[in-house]
Amino acid sequence: MPLVMPRTPARGGIVARADPPADRRGDRFAAALTALVMLGVLVTSSAPLFAAQAVVFALGAFVGLRYSPYPALYRAVVAPGLVELGRAPRLAWLRRLGSPVRPEPAAPVRGAHTLGVGLAVLGSVGYLAGLTGLGEVSAVLVLAAAVTNAAVGFCPGRVAYQALYQLFARLNRHPSQPETQQGAIA
């Protein structure tokens, strides 16, 4: 996802492609799988495994979240299974996990995937160049973000994306356009 503010046709720019909203449960499931892959990268120091994770991030960031394999796996296998399991009397609490939740905008998730691509490529290059420290630091950063997202739903990559988006929005603001008190563009 480019780190520039999308422009509307009225402001002389192009229209950003609209992705469907992201399912938070699928995002947390993807983060859990990413954490498992990063554990594998740290244990094996595998550049190809790190590069494979970079491809997964790139699909979500540049092609679209609906084409990323982890959320697709969640939609195809996990979510329907939770609903089916929830029909059993003892497992009725699982119905809540399969029920829809408030979706979130896809742009911050794609922005987080873009940051993930950068870290994964940096780590892969580090491992391939023999700079294992660089690869390990990159893997630990991705692992920490993935575990935080999977466990409590807080994604540092999304927060970084939103901060960069607001910064670029302020930089791209036309001088005749007033700012609101919160600093957002009116």
What are the tens digits of pLDDT across the range 19-39? 777 777 788 888 999 999 999
Residues β-bridged to residue 179: 185
Averaged pLDDT for residues 75-86: 68
Torsion angles phi and psi, residue 101, rounded to 5? -115, 170
Give me the pLDDT at residue 48, please: 93
Give me the pLDDT at residue 176, please: 63
Give me the pLDDT at residue 87, please: 60
Distance (Å, whole) CA 133 – CA 82: 40
* Average confidence score pLDDT of the chain: 77
Residues 55 and 7: beta-carbon distance below 8 Å:
no
Q: What is the DSSP letter of 16?
A: P
Give me the pLDDT at residue 141, please: 93
Which amino acid is it at 90? Answer: R
Confidence of residue 4 (pLDDT cuts 50, 70, 90): very low
**How much of the chain, in percent, has pLDDT values that exceed 90?**
30
Averaged pLDDT for residues 44-66: 90
pLDDT at 50 over 70: yes
Q: Where are the beta strands (DSSP E) in the chain?
A: none
Residues 107 and 54: beta-carbon distance below 8 Å:
no
